[in-house]
Amino acid sequence: MAGDTEGKVHNILSNLESLDKARELFSELNYDPAHDPISRQAWGEAIANALAEDPQVIACHDDFKIIYARLDSDGLFLGDERPVVNKLLKECPYLLCLFSDRQQQQWHFVNIKYDEDIKKRRLFRRITVGPGERLRTATERLSLLDLERIRPDLTGIYPLDIQTNHDGAFDVEAVTKQFFDEYKAIFRILEDDLCKQTNDRAWAHDYSLQFLNRCMFIYFIQRKGWLGNDCDFLLNFWKGYQRSEQSQNSFVDNWLKVLFFEAFNNRFHGGHSYFPSEIKEALSLAPYLNGGLFTENKFDQQHKAVVSDRRFEQILKFLERYNFTIAEDSPLDKEVAVDPEMIGKVYESLVNVSEEVDERGEAGIFYTPRTEIDLMCRLSLVDHLANHLGEDRKELLYQLIFALESDEKTNADKAIAEANLWSALNERFHEITILDPACGSGSFLVGMLNILDDLQERANRQLGITEASYDRKKRIIGQSLYGVDVMEWACHVAELRLWLALIIDAEFTREELHVRREPLLPYFSFKVRCGDSLVQEVGGINLGHIAASQEIPPPLKARITNLKNEKLKFYNSDKTCQFHSVDALKNEEKRLFSDILDARGHAIQERIKAVRRKLEGPQTYQIGLDGKGAPPPHQMDLEANQYLQEIEALTTELAQTKVSKKALSAAREVPFVWDIAFVEIFEGENKSFDIVMGNPPYVRQEAIAAPVVHGVQVTNDKREYKAKLALSVYQAFPHFFGYKAGTNTAAHRIDAKSDLYIYFYLHGLSLLNSKGSFCFITSNSWLDVGYGADLQEFLLKHSHVKLVLDNQVKRTFANADVNSIIVLFSSPDDRREWALDKTARFVMFRVPFEHILSPVIFDEIEEATERKATKEYRIFPIQQSKLLEDGCEIPQEEETGKAAGPLIKTARYIGNKWGGKYLRAPDIYWTILEKGKGKLVRLGDIAEVRRGFTTGANQFFYLDEERIRDWEIEEEFFKPLIWSMQQINKLRIMPEAANAQVFVCREPLSSLRNKPGALSYISYGSKLTTEKGAKHTVAGVRLPDAPTLKGRTLWYALPDVDPGQFVVPRLIRERFFLAGNPHRILISDMFFVGDFKNRTEAALGVPLLNSALTYLCVELFGRINIPGRINLYGPEIKSVLLLNPASVSSGYTNLLAKSFDSLCERNILPIEEELQQEDRIRFDATVLSAFGLGELQEQIYRALLEHVTERLEKEQTLKRQSKASSV
């Protein structure tokens, strides 16, 4: 039945040239016919005049309407459609809009995603039908609108049911997934083909990507009509080859490469006699693209592999199935088609599933959704402009930059004009520089380009400046946008997307393009650079920012200015450019940087001479009024010592400069070094970038490894690379880390457990100028874990934590096991602790980001001075000095137990739970802290907490009944074991729960002669080899030699461990427990265990650990970096608050014990059920009453349930998104 419907829908769409055909379509989809016009009288002149006639309802079902509107223009323009839809929504909340051009040749089917709040901006999603459009996606998605799909008998279907069905049918993610799955399949087939021919997997991988990118690019540009005025050019090009009777498998070499390397490079000579005349004409008039994508490169020349005709036809059929649109979506407008953004999604998805060397599965790259990118770009721009124009202008700037609708832009532009700010803004728009240091497929660069282009167009309109859209975008990219990525082909994808963003508005005829002297596509080679953003080494010497701190002599400044101008000329393919190739310009960068190092060395030498003169020359002192002259000898010694220290530091600096110069001279390739690659930025007037933003890769510390750049890896030793990462951070902020270049040591060492993005934070901050703005989206782990302490302390002292944004209803990365946050920071200065009086703002949004792209909301957030909650968000503003105090460990005088001095000066910062306390914690948490003052205690203060025991080889040590029986292992050598959450059903672990065993033998082999079972089992184990488990486990090593076992005296002897008085699970979903372990059963490393320091407190400590109050703290303080689950490690467990067992009065002791005994008799339930049980309610009432907090019980329950529900619903949202994407 569905197939029949799709066939009929396809036929109708193929002939959709009249309103009657549109009516026929919805009749086929089982909607009732209608002929109801809608008056435009009260609409306003501009909106009404956009239509050729009154819109009309052409079909319906109950109150769901299909409304047709014919635009009074020859094209379909989103700016005309959106105001019309906004008018219709006021009368018809449930609708599908159908737009056509004046001639009814082009059609838009527009879905407006439903939202109960009609005041919110609505998301528009459209399907395009018309000449040149492929109909597969349109047919499949529009067929889903059939009412029979909701209920076959068509009864009991409500408007909201239909609207929900429509929302699903227009889901862009479903098309994205379908495209990606098919792209991945064809990519692998092509890659395998080429690999079989060459036995070179890495080349096959890179060439396949390049080939598919080139083919997709043709699909985008043929829509412009620039290839023979044929929107189906590539298909017809292939058909022409098939008719030409050329030799088999020659299409790619003899036809496609002519298009790539001749026609697109303005070198088509017409001598190819086998081309038909119409194809010759198309090729001779093809646009001059240049720019690198269609330049013959090393991948084209490295091997002579053949892409067969059969394989190309398979690729062509895949591409022919989809509509390609050059326009990239905005947060409020999406087309159900393949746009350049989808190429980015495909690339970044491929990185994570590939097994190739340069795109490891642990690359940790996840595609940032368009809405988050848009939000981050706008926040960064508001902050940057406020830094230059004044904080008092911020409200106006929010209004300007967050104006998305046409009427909002009109009002904002008028307000800016009244404030006389357009000239100042225009100046900033021309000077701003933006960097993404891990740019991937260029999503942030494209996002910023689109916003800057809109702002610049509005500024031009206000100032009377004429600038074509193509020229404006080209200038913005050339002047303002910079990206770096470690993967070379990622840079190519970023370039491709920037090219497509540039040509979308390029209105040139084929003839104009052909006679155009400069190529249509500029060179992006110096805008998007391939390299390691974190470690800039040449010959083992770190060259990061080595020249930036020195005064540059005037002649070199002139050369820097000249280089900047020459780069722009090269970018624009200006024939007056001094350099005619990428390599020539890179070599000039290298020469200039080398000369800067020479100048630096000379300046250091002169400085050393000057200091030596002070040290060795005669000292003169002014005689004071008292007749005394020279200072005492100790003061003179002090000055001399300072001079000597300065000479020593300068000598070290000079030596480093010389070594760097030598390493640079010896380097074959021009290396990626910030000061070389962007010398015009770092040696220019502003010294660094205005905005640094992006989404750095999420790589856990154990997986960090040196990347492969241009086929070269700095080191294959992970530990060595991490040391280089740490050193580069110390050099970037020597004052904070106490780094001494002479000894190459740091007094404050960065936590070795830091994930890779921590280094990106610090490096990104170091790339900002003094008025810069920093905006990242990353994992939220650093807010709450130990390795985040270094970054937290640095920010609190040396930067302004302006915004930390989270979203409780929607996860940004559906395919990543991480929860993310967006941050906005100021430029840092680690030479002084200037930021402690600044206010940090933590914001938890309660609605999707699409609903908060509003100047009003961010104005409110900026003005908030205390905790506040609205239906859209919850905010916690707090002074940074208070955050520092909260995260400090106070040193105590041993004898008095009092603090040793002023807190901030003497305390050691150990980290704070920024996520748990300031983003996720409800108001009741702070009420508990206030009312429970003196009654609460951290678990880590009264108990020793440690991880459960690790066997080192579960395959050997874990036993089941069958293994014990087969090997006849003696009973004395196995003990009960708890290794799974499923084994713990009650709040006290009883022996019967331990239905697994662990092998425990600490006797030498010589003592086991009379224990044949154990002896033979150990012998068997010595022949076993390790299995691949965790990422750091190496398979195939004999157990006695395994790293986890060989350090033991006897490899098979488990350490003698204390099982602990209580047990804490590492993962919590719905069942909460911190169970007692009265029988001292062995507990595996799937748990943490603990003992109360005062052993007598265990009787009350375990019950108090299981109060709802403590469960709430667990929920707040646990890591939320795994979908739907709380992840607990030692630091989180130690931070958990509980009511102090030492404070329980004797009158409550027996009551608590008795109440807890009752709880322990039954199974632990999911928390929603648990909190409804009478014994649980009595127990928590007893606990809270014992501490005078009884009136808080209901609020604690409500907060705990809300947080758990939000966590689980977020997980379910992901599953629904994934399921919808697979439809």
Confidence of residue 353 (pLDDT cuts 50, 70, 90): very low
Token pair for 59 = 């079909």
Asked whether 378 and 853 are in contact (CB, 8 A), the reply is yes
Q: How far is CA 648 from CA 544, 607, 636, 641, 735, in A?
A: 22, 12, 18, 10, 18
Measure the CA–CA gap between 1154 and 1179, rounded to whole angstroms: 9
Average pLDDT, the chain: 87
Measure the CA–CA gap between 1045 and 977, rounded to whole angstroms: 20
Give the number of other CB atoms < 10 A from CB of residue 557.
14
Measure the CA–CA gap between 467 and 461, rounded to whole angstroms: 10
Widest distance between CA atoms in the chain: 113
Over the stretch 242-267, which tens digit does the pLDDT of each residue have? 999 889 999 999 999 999 999 988 88
Q: How much is the pLDDT for 687?
A: 78
In terms of DSSP bridges, do strands 1087-1092 and 1062-1065 run parallel, antiparallel, or are they unpaired? antiparallel
603 pLDDT exceeds 90? Answer: no
Measure the CA–CA gap between 820 and 802, rounded to whole angstroms: 17
Token pair for 701 = 């510390």
Which residue carries 């059939």 as its tokens?
146
760 pLDDT exceeds 90? Answer: yes
Nearest 5°: phi and psi at 699? -120, 120
Over the stretch 939-977, which tens digit does the pLDDT of each residue have? 999 999 999 999 999 999 999 999 999 999 999 999 999
Measure the CA–CA gap between 405 and 81, rounded to whole angstroms: 12
Q: How much is the pLDDT for 325?
A: 83
3-state SS string over 144-195? CCCHHHCCCCCCCCCHHHHHHHHHHHCCHHHHHHHHHHHHHHHHHHHHHHHH
685 CB burial (10 A radius; 0-12, 13-18, 19+): exposed
Q: How much is the pLDDT for 296?
A: 86
Asked whether 486 and 709 are in contact (CB, 8 A), the reply is yes
Over the stretch 410-440, which tens digit does the pLDDT of each residue have? 999 999 999 999 999 999 999 999 999 999 8
Over the stretch 58-114, which tens digit does the pLDDT of each residue have? 999 999 999 999 999 988 888 889 899 999 998 899 999 999 999 999 999 999 988
DSSP string, 257-294: HHHHHTGGGT---S--TTS-HHHHHHHHT-----TTTT
Residue 915, helix vs strand vs coil: helix
Q: How much is the pLDDT for 362?
A: 45
Element (H, E) at 798: helix 789-798
CA angle 777, 779, 784 (to 5 degrees): 125
1028 pLDDT exceeds 70? Answer: no
622 pLDDT exceeds 50? Answer: no
1168 pLDDT exceeds 70? Answer: yes
Token pair for 961 = 């009944």
Measure the CA–CA gap between 1158 and 1137, rounded to whole angstroms: 23
- Across 300-304, 332-336, 793-797, which has the greatest mean pLDDT? 793-797
Which residue carries 């609409």 as its tokens?
43
Q: How much is the pLDDT for 539?
A: 59
Closest CA to 803 of 380, 403, 192: 380
Mean per-residue pLDDT for 1176-1196? 95
Confidence of residue 360 (pLDDT cuts 50, 70, 90): very low
815 pLDDT exceeds 60? Answer: no
Over the stretch 540-598, which tens digit does the pLDDT of each residue have? 666 665 544 556 788 888 888 888 888 888 888 888 889 888 888 888 888 888 888 88
Closest CA to 1100 of 1157, 1015, 1052: 1157
Confidence of residue 173 (pLDDT cuts 50, 70, 90): confident
For the sheet containing 1067-1068, what is the strand order?
Answer: 1067-1068, 1125-1127, 1119-1122
Measure the CA–CA gap between 684 and 548, rounded to whole angstroms: 10
391 pLDDT exceeds 90? Answer: yes
Token pair for 177 = 């997934």
Q: How much is the pLDDT for 513?
A: 67
